[in-house]
Amino acid sequence: MSELKEILKFYGEMGAEFLHLPVSDPRTDLAELNRSILQCRQCRLHESKTHYVPGEGSSRPDILFIGEGPGQTEDQFGRPFIGNAGQLLDKIIQKMGYRREDVFIGNVVKCRPPNNREPLIDEVEACLPFLRRQIELLKPKIIVCLGKVALNNLLGTSHSMGRIRGQLLRFNDIPLIPTYHPSFILHKKEKEEISQAKREVWEDMQKALAVISGQRP
C-alpha cells in the first residue's frame, strides 16, 4: 500500500490528473481462456470430437457445477449438459432458485471421450489446467462436483460418491460439495431408488445453498 502511495505521489508531482490502471475483467479473461480451449491439441480427444465444449454461464457465478465430460448431444452442439442429464440438472438449478445462465456449468474434459468412456489419466492431466483457470477466474461461492470423476480428478482423491456426497470439502479455499451425477439417477431402474437418489441430491444442494447464504450447513 505504501508503495502505491509513493507511485501516486510521483504521478501527482508530475502533474498527472488521470491514471488508467488496467483492471482485469473476468469476461475478457474467460473469453481468452475459451479461445485457448478451442485451439487445444494437447490430447487425442480433439481428434475424435465434433465440437469443443468449454463450459458456459455467468462470469461471476454463485455456483460452479462440474461434470465429467461432454456426451453425444453436448459434442454435437458445443454446449455442456444439454442432453438428458442436462435436463435433470436444469431442474435442480431451477429448484435451487437460479436460472441456468446465473451459474457456470463446466466439465473436467472439454472434448467428448469416444463412446462416453471415462476420460483417461493423460487426457485429464492435459485438460485440468483449463478447469483450474476457470475456477480462478470465476471465483464461485461454491463448487458442486457432479459425480466421482469430477470430484476425484479435481481433488486428486479416490472417494466413493456414496460415502463422500454431501460433505463440505474445499478446493483452493473454495467450498466444494460432491453429489451424484444426474446420469447416475437417470440410469436407476427402481422407482424407490430414483426417489432416494433425487432426495439425496436435493439434500446436498440445500447444503450448497446454506454455504452460499453464509450459514454453514
Q: Check: CB of residue 90 under 8 Å from CB of residue 142.
A: no
What is the sign, positive or negative, of the torsion defined by CA atoms of 42, 47, 48, 52? positive
Grid cell in block for residue 140: 464461485
Task: Specify the residue, 150 or 208, whose C-beta has the smaller distance to ligand URA.
Answer: 150
* Residue among 49, 93, 107, 204 that touches ligand URA (CB under 6 A): 107
Residue 75 beta carbon to ligand URA: minimum distance, rounded to whole angstroms:
9
Contact call for residue 140 and ligand URA (CB under 6 A): no
Element (H, E) at 130: helix 121-138
Residue 122 beta carbon to ligand URA: minimum distance, rounded to whole angstroms:
19
Site string for ligand URA, 64-103 (x = CB under 6 A): ---xxxxx--x-----xx---xx-----------------
Task: Specify the residue, 52 or 81, whose C-beta has the smaller distance to ligand URA.
Answer: 81
Which among 60, 65, 165 is positioned nearest to 108, based on CA atoms?
65
Q: Check: CB of residue 72 under 8 Å from CB of residue 116.
A: yes
Q: What are the residues binding ligand URA (CB under 6 A)?
A: 67-71, 74, 80-81, 85-86, 107
